[in-house]
Chains A and B, each alone.
Chain A
């Protein structure tokens, strides 16, 4: 919807339209929630079976002791990366087209980092003593070894979950008050607490705006650090294929690629399901498409540099890992290159494709398929062909690991579906602010749209 169209509508009507997702659930919603819940339950059962038996029910075995669980971990951390980051960058740059997409992006971060945080625990051989790595004085006389990258992950993910949840909450605060004033019964009581007594005084808005900018500035370095730390899990080892200085920026770029693609995918789904066609317009897909194009170019460049360095130096073990990966996993490698580079880079050059919602859905799903494969191809081939040829091996995930992976996707979707039913999916006050600031002014012979901005 253009600024002009927003300005034409009354505040009440804008509220009605943008809060339409909060209407009572339909049988379709219950059906979807039940199906997703069933997949999550199946994954939980598979995980319980793993805990009751041992890691032999997975495909993990020497030398590949990191498998699809860690690929999941890296993938979900990556997905979480971009939601908050895109939102923060767009807030800081005061891009007006950001407004309808902020909430979808910020919520995505919170749910994907929650799923990501589960995987190191799922992956542990003895999950029931996971509390061993919490830093507290204990009778064992041991103190968590901060030299372990596992603890860097735990610290970074904790910071990111708290930070991105607060960032999401902060952005929602005025909208929570809006919902509070439009609901009754038990929902009103909950929103009364969540809105913290917000009234929208001029002073509250001043502090709120400054806090939003400060939080955006604080959350970006946290997001970058989280994925750099995940990359260091790999890069600080001496495993061939991992021990590379480019890994942290390469991981960050990959994370932004998958995150931006996932935000677009969610925009398509939310737009269709909640009939938000007037608010999530082709302009938003066009702009996000340009962003994705740039990030995919960066990713392709980083991947090329990584491979080119390995190829030209031709260090035997490094080259062996790459040859093994490209030989044994050729179809996956090709699918990854198509999904992450060839398809998006060629297709997104065209405005017509960027503005086609269906095309963007297909492209962005393929980007994330490619990105999941990329995570898998980083982990498995390097561990399969480490420095000692007499323990080279292979890995393929078992039904337990695949069930847990399916449950992770279902769990993420379920959290999103529940969130969308109870909280506003569009940043209502942000969109309405645009209408307030919009005016048609006469310039020469024409009337032009203008948006007032403050320094």
Chain B
């Protein structure tokens, strides 16, 4: 269920109304086209796990880079004078670059995974959000609870409401 509001005050009033009516806060979220400080409309868990994907990516990249530069030098030896088969400085450069590359890929991949984007199915959305309107979305099953959420939103000043079935 998504309600569209003209401004932040009416949206915040709707969120207060929903919480007072017993809707758990974690089921309520806001849809905005610019970020608001936490708690202005809804409170959100600030903890994220996607950074561990970046760490994992970096570790994978380090192994891949070292194996690519040093491992292959060992497998395809090129004897140059009395120089070592594995050249540590170039191996270090390749290892470093691939570490950073996979850390970046891990960060971006992890970010999308944590955001659950792209979504597998349609979710309630109102394009008016792009023009500064505020969307308040609450996850409720169809039935009485949904009707109640809709009436709370309309009382708070929702311009319109949308549900998943309407998509």
B107 touches A200 (CB 8 A): no
Q: Which of B43-101 contact A (CB under 8 A)?
A: 44-46, 48, 50-51, 54, 68-69, 72-73, 75-76, 78, 80, 87, 90-91, 93-94, 96-98, 100-101
Q: How far is the CA of A11 from the CA of B54 in the complex (A)?
A: 34
- 8 A Cβ contacts from B11-48 to A: 29-38, 41-42, 44-46, 48
Q: Within 8 Å of chain B (Cβ to Cβ): is A353? A: no
On whether the beta carbons of A202 and B33 are closer than 8 Å, the reply is no
Q: Please choose the segment from A55-63, A70-78, A431-439 that sits at the chain B interface, where 4 or more of its residues have CB less than 8 A away.
A: A431-439
* Known pairs A145-B78, A197-B118, A225-B96; A207 contacts B90 (CB<8 A): no
Task: Point out the residues of chain A lying under 8 angstroms from B42, CB to CB.
Answer: 202
Which residues does chain B contribute within 8 Å of A146, judged by CB atoms? 68-69, 72-73, 87, 90-91, 94
The interface stretch among B128-136, B141-149, B154-162 is B128-136
Residue in B45, B50, B93 whose CB lies within 8 Å of A211? B50
Residue pair A199, B31 in contact (C-beta under 8 Å): yes
The residues of A that contact B87 with a CB separation of less than 8 Å are 146-147
Flag if A218 contacts B107 (CB, 8 Å).
yes
Chain B positions within 8 Å of A429 at CB level: 33-35
Q: Is A387 among interface residues, defined by CB-CB distance under 8 A?
A: no
Please name all residues of chain A whose beta carbon is closer than 8 Å to the beta carbon of B44 when the two chains form the complex.
Answer: 202-203, 205-206
Write the chain B residue with the least CB distance to A179.
Answer: B130
Contact of B115 among A10, A11, A182, A203 (CB under 8 A): A203
Question: What residues of B have a CB within 8 angstroms of the CB of A209 in the complex?
Answer: 35
Question: Is the C-beta of A24 less than 8 angstroms from some C-beta in chain B?
Answer: no
Of the candidates B45, B78, B117, which one forms a contact with A198 in the assembled complex, judged by CB atoms under 8 Å apart? Answer: B117
Q: B119 → chain A, closest Cβ, in Å? A: 5
Q: Tell me which of A28-36, A154-162, A292-300, A391-399 binds B.
A: A154-162
List B contacts of A196 (CB < 8 A). 112, 117-118
Query: Is residue B5 within 8 Å, beta carbon to beta carbon, of the partner chain?
Result: no
Q: Which of A38-46, A170-178, A415-423 contacts B (4 or more CB under 8 A)?
A: A170-178
A199 to B93: give the CA distance in the assembly, Å: 40
Report the interface size class on chain A: 35 or more
A166 touches B31 (CB 8 A): no
- Across the interface, which residues of A come within 8 angstroms of B54, CB to CB? 214, 218
When A145-B78, A200-B129, A211-B107 are in contact, do A163 and B101 touch as well, CB less than 8 Å? yes
Q: Does B103 contact A (CB under 8 A)?
A: yes
Task: State whether A199 touches B118 (Cβ < 8 A).
Answer: no
Q: With an 8 A cutoff between CB atoms, is A201 at the interface?
A: yes
The CA-CA distance from A104 to B51 in the complex, in Å, is 27
Distance A166 CA – B41 CA, assembled complex (angstroms): 30
Q: Is B164 an interface residue (CB 8 A)?
A: no
Interchain nearest-CB distance for A33 vs B (Å) = 28
A12 in complex: contacting residue of B38, B93, B101, B132, CB < 8 Å: B132
B48 x A201 contact (CB < 8 A):
no
**Contact call B131/A15, Cβ cutoff below 8 A:** yes
Chain A residues, Cβ within 8 Å of B115: 198, 203-204, 207-208
> Which chain A residues border B94 with CB–CB below 8 Å?
146, 151-152, 155
A147 touches B101 (CB 8 A): no
A452 at the interface (CB under 8 A from B): yes
Bound complex: CA A225 to CA B34 (Å): 34
Decide if B100 touches A159 in the complex (CB within 8 Å). Answer: yes
Q: How many angstroms between the C-alpha atoms of A225 and B93 in the bound complex? A: 9
CA distance A205 to B100 in the complex (A): 24
Contact between chains at B31 and A201 (CB < 8 Å): yes
CA distance A181 to B37 in the complex (A): 23
Contacts of B140 in A (CB 8 A): none
A252, CB-defined interface residue at 8 Å: no
Task: Give bound CA distance, A404 to B131, whole Å.
Answer: 45
Assess whether A219 is in contact with B30, with CB atoms less than 8 Å apart: no
Cα–Cα, bound, A146→B71 (Å): 11
The reply to whether B37 and A437 form a contact with Cβ atoms under 8 Å apart is yes
Known: A199-B125, A208-B115, A225-B96. A215 touches B35 (CB 8 A): no
Known A156-B97, A182-B127, A182-B130; 15 more pairs at CB < 8 Å: A10-B131, A12-B131, A12-B132, A145-B78, A162-B105, A180-B130, A181-B127, A181-B129, A198-B115, A201-B29, A203-B44, A209-B35, A214-B107, A432-B34, A436-B35
Which A residues have a C-beta under 8 Å from some C-beta of B? 10-12, 15, 135, 141-143, 145-147, 151-152, 155-156, 158-159, 162-163, 166, 170, 174, 177-178, 180-182, 196-211, 214-215, 218-219, 221-222, 225, 229, 429, 432-433, 435-437, 452, 454
23 A-B pairs within 8 Å (CB atoms) are namely: A142-B76, A143-B75, A158-B97, A166-B105, A174-B34, A177-B33, A178-B130, A181-B127, A196-B117, A198-B117, A199-B123, A201-B31, A202-B44, A205-B36, A205-B44, A206-B44, A208-B111, A210-B48, A218-B103, A225-B97, A429-B34, A436-B36, A454-B38
